[in-house]
Structure 1
């Protein structure tokens, strides 16, 4: 008889890749969500869907009773209360894994290490706030709840991804850069191109969640990210190679960008201070990440099949061309 897994979420991005990984490892999978998005597994053998709201305790309890899972992957716990309820409902499973975030770290260390780099605090007000500004605080408090649950005998663990990219990324963050490389042979990159914002390939996050559920130590956190991190310029070189196109990356400082009314932060996936996670704790469980060139090739393939262009992050091609004109006169 196959092991069973319950994925809370499971139809969009990280959850979708997690379900695929579980199926590849012979799990019977139940996905639990509100049914607001198309279910890519509607006709797949080995996948059942239960509709309900994970913020309604009775819905989550009913899903637990119906699925009777060996492991639980919680993709949509955005508030500490969500985690608190889940570790109670799933107190007897073999592994409950909460998706936290690299944003849970409260200090700018290079790299950020589990159990060493301090976590963000979380006030009572932040715990119920829904703004982006408190996202890391809420995730950190969820991690602390996982720790306390483990101390009481619950097999609860946490996985902390950095910025996630890959097929089906509905956020469109990577799509902006993919579209730029696909449509222009000369693009502006803020700074010197050496900006480092650690990224994690979505299928690798899925395999990390399963690995931690199977092999992880209760109460521990596990960072996940590409084992070979690349700079923003290196990322664009990977994109150009995957697209088999020529690309000139033109770097621009604050002064050159300001001439067109832009700032470095107007460009998605730019971060002034490096963000890097140590992934050795996860690697000790036998996990490995996909080589960046292979990951980007699949990301590009799905991007071209999609209708996403990342335009919501576009600082404006006219402004970008104005920066290029300024740089060409220097």
Structure 2
């Protein structure tokens, strides 16, 4: 029986990946700190150690070997050398960090960000693990996950919308019309991408793949879909990003380096080109976006994060409804002031003639 090691595995995609490996006949071991557990099949073994430090990694893996290692957590630059001689394949997971693309989807070869430091470290880590592949230490495939949505998120961005709807709020703040587009991935779809790599060892060897859903909804559309699944009607109220603090929760996960609480998040589009994994591995996400949002809405309606608890602290959303209403009132007064300024107006004319009678 082939053996699989999953480093991490207790996060949003872990149980699906572990279950998929077991279904494929792998004797599967999950290597994690033991801080959190997840619903795994009974036959799955556990290694409880910290994958962030070389000493604990080496101690945990001593005398063990695997046919494939899926690394989703810990310090990959430390895990990679520890896996040399212990596995033939490594499937690693990281995030995308592409330079601005003028609203075009970024492919895997697009230029990468090197600032701030976190993005430079991400790039350096990828270079480190691909060097192991080039040396023949193991066969590597690296996945760049878009920001995910779905059950069991550490910072569930959709909760900012869902809680407001469940709390009876009749309007939701959006920034710049809620028109921003961002590639996302439903958790089951991201897990399916990992398993697609497992199923195609030769085609995926030495490759990096973007992972995201094919459909990309705007922020405004996301609110509408979630509200529809929860059976409520809601109004969107737009604020300029610079002065729209009630809507700054839209920046969570989208702006990893936005560490100032009152700084407006960037509202530029962030799109990923996922044609490579679809073309080379035949990847098709099993859960359509609208269905993923339905499952997300229903899951959080049943498993509501505790007000002020860890998930909400991760989001940084104060849910300060009194202040939000004050912002809306001030925005309405501002709009009334603008309406009172004399303005010549715009004249629109059709560029083509529409004669009412034939000309002689």
What is the TM-score of this pair, normalised by structure 1? 0.83
1:277 alignment partner in structure 2: 272
Aligned to 2:146: 162
SS at match of 1:192: helix
Distance 1:86 1:174 in 2: 37
The answer as to 2:231 corresponding to 1:244 is yes
Q: Map residues 95-134 of structure 1 onto 2, 5 A cutoff.
A: 95-103=89-97, 105-108=98-101, 110-115=104-109, 117-121=110-114, 133-134=116-117
Contact 1:256–1:326 (Cα < 8 Å) also in 2: no
Question: Residue 204 of structure 2 aligns to a residue in which SS?
Answer: coil
Candidates 292, 304, 317, aligned match of 1:307: 304
Aligned pair count? Answer: 308
CA 1:86–1:249: 2 relative to 1, 3 Å:
farther
Match of 1:229 in 2: 216
Distance 1:35 1:254, change over 3 A: closer
Match status 1:142 vs 2:125:
yes
Could you tell me which residue of structure 1 aligns to residue 282 of structure 2?
286
Report the CA distance between 1:87 and its aligned residue: 5.0
SS at match of 1:102: coil
Matched residue, 1:27: 26
Q: What CA distance in whole angstroms lies between the structure 2 residues aligned with 1:223 and 1:254?
A: 28
Q: Which residue in the other structure is 2:179 paired with?
A: 194
Runs of 4+ with deviation above 6 angstroms: none
CA drift of 1:64 comes to: 4.4
Q: 1:50 to 1:319 in 2, by over 3 A?
A: same
Cα distance in 2 for residues equivalent to 1:61 and 1:78: 13
**Using a 3 Å threshold, how does the CA distance of structure 1 residues 182 and 263 change in structure 2: closer, same or farther?**
closer
**Cα distance in 2 between the residues matched to 1:252 and 1:6:** 47
* Equivalence for 1:325: 329
* Alignment check: 8 A CA contact 1:193 1:231 kept: yes
Aligned partner of 1:126 in structure 2 is none
Partners in 1 of 2:127 and 2:43 — Cα distance? 34
Ranges in structure 1 where 5+ consecutive residues have no aligned partner: 123-132
Distance change in 2, residues 1:121/1:256 (3 Å): closer
1:158 is displaced (CA, Å) by 0.5
Q: Distance in 2 between matches of 1:165 and 1:240?
A: 16
SS in 2 for 1:168: coil
Report the counterpart of residue 43 of structure 2 in structure 1: 46
Q: Tell me by how many angstroms 1:266 deviates.
A: 5.0
Structure-1 separation of matches of 2:242 and 2:33: 48
Of 209, 223, 228, which aligns to 2:194? Answer: 209
The Cα of 1:30 is off from its aligned counterpart by 0.9
